[in-house]
Amino acid sequence: MKNAIIVVLLLIVVVVGYYAATTLRLPMENVEGKTERIIRGDLTLPINATGEVKPGLRVEIKSEASGEVIEIAKRPGDRVKAGDVLIRLQKDDEQRSVDRATQELQIAEARMNSAKIVLELAKGAELATAQAQVAQLEPQVEYAKYRKDRLGKFDPSLKNEEETVQRDTEYFRQLALLEGAKAGVEKAKLNIPRAEYEYEQYKASYEAAKATLGDAQKRLDKTDIVSPINGVVANINTQIGAVIQGGKTTLTGGTVLGVVLDDQKVLVQAEVDESDIGRVLAIAPAWARPGREAALQMPADMAKAVEQIEHVTDISVESFREEEFQGVIERIYPEPKSLSNVVTYLVDIVVIGDNRDLLLSGMRAEVSFTSEHVSNVLLCPNDAIRDGPNGELGVYIPKPGSPPSEHETQFVACKFGLDNGNYNEVREGLQEGQLVYTKLPIKREEKDRAKKSSRG
């Protein structure tokens, strides 16, 4: 019984001691104040924005061919290479189109060849025949004219009227035949452009039929729907047994059957507030700024891109809180977005590093651009910076030579630089390791309140 009482008393002593320690700690802090040391380090002034993870390239898969889906070769999440089959269609419909186009091409070819023969005849045999007939009749006309003129020189008493009529008639007959032959030459010449026109028409019909056959053969080949890029299948929007209408036969260009994402290039598209976009433009590489020359592009080798910039962009996502992601600004869009009177500008950031594979399209991201940066400088906690007796900025330090129990303070005027919200760059007034008050002792606080009251 006595031992039990001793144990209870000990427990009471422990509880009372703990209570006293915890309840007296805050009052002691109020009396003594709280100090921190001036440290040396780097300070960055960030520009914060939110964004969304996007793939470098998003390709919607449509079908140029028509037919029934007979196989789905890849599923969402599968990695594919360019040319890998995603979906297979039944080939029957497209094969019939190829057969019809083949027959139409053969008919068009026969018509074109026939027109070509007609053209060659018009340019060759027909014209030559007409010209030969003219050449044959010209001397006959000359001879008939000679005989007619010669008879006209005879003495009228010696002329035979019947013979005169015969020679005149023969001359005019030969002359008419010559004129008809010359007209035949002109007709043969006119037949040439008409034959050329018909040939060109049939040739164009042949070329159109050949193109139709090519398209039909292409659609037949496209019954195997393949991935156009290396990447990851994001979605498949069809199923076995579904009947697909090809994009060539629909006004909308066909149904989206799937989506493939290029996961080798991962972007974060950040929305930067209009008040910050000027500072982002100032630190952006030349290739990212609006109005650049078209030839000025970000290097494909990301290591070279990083070498050409001063600071990378820091990225974080809620899904991987412990991971640190980094990126390089690739593009700043010149046209703003406006929603509920809030104006923002889109900025594309290419994520670098092997851990980019963790990021999935659509994730929300926090982006931090390095606007200004200083290295190896003195840093003062923002809680320590106060207005001095004469209105200047500075800090309170433990008064040199004063007994520690008195908690006397002394104000030191300072010059400050960059401020990241937690620490301020100290340019003049303090030294590394020096103690500054982040919470003033109770006496100092009372003096400050009294001074402010007297001013009021």
Q: Which CA distances in Å does 363 have to 77, 151, 268, 316?
A: 16, 115, 9, 10
Q: Which CA distances in Å does 157 have to 154, 160, 163, 381, 394?
A: 8, 8, 13, 150, 153
pLDDT at position 379, please?
96
Q: How far apart are alpha carbons 406 and 32 in whole angstroms?
A: 9
Give the β-pairing of 342-352 and 258-273: antiparallel
**Residue bearing the bigger pLDDT, 31 or 377:** 377
pLDDT score of 72 more than 90: yes
Domain 63-90+223-256 maps to which CATH number in 2.40.50.100, 2.130.10.10, 3.50.50.60, 3.40.50.720? 2.40.50.100
Indicate the class that CATH gives domain 94-220: mainly alpha
Q: How far apart are alpha carbons 330 and 285 in whole angstroms?
A: 8
pLDDT at position 13, please?
52
- What torsion, rounded to 10 degrees, do the Cα atoms 171, 177, 179, 181 define? -150
Q: How far apart are alpha carbons 364 and 49 in whole angstroms?
A: 11
Domain locations in the chain?
30-41+376-455, 47-56+262-373, 63-90+223-256, 94-220
Q: How far apart are alpha carbons 46 and 316 in whole angstroms?
A: 14
Tell me the whole-structure pTM to 2 decimals.
0.58
pLDDT at position 326, please?
95
pLDDT score of 154 more than 50: yes
- Residue 9: exposed, middle, or buried by beta-carbon count in 10 A (0-12, 13-18, 19+)? exposed
CATH numeric code, 47-56+262-373: 2.40.30.170
Residues forming beta bridges with residue 261, ordered by sequence position: 58, 232
* N- to C-terminal Cα separation, the chain: 68
- Residue in the block written with tokens 């007297």: 454
Q: Note whether 269 and 54 are within 8 A (CB).
A: yes
pLDDT at position 12, please?
58
Q: Could you read off the pLDDT of 207-219 as tens digits, one per residue?
A: 999 999 998 888 8
The mean predicted confidence, pLDDT, of the chain is: 85
**What architecture does CATH give domain 30-41+376-455?**
Beta Barrel (2.40)
Residue 323, amino acid = E
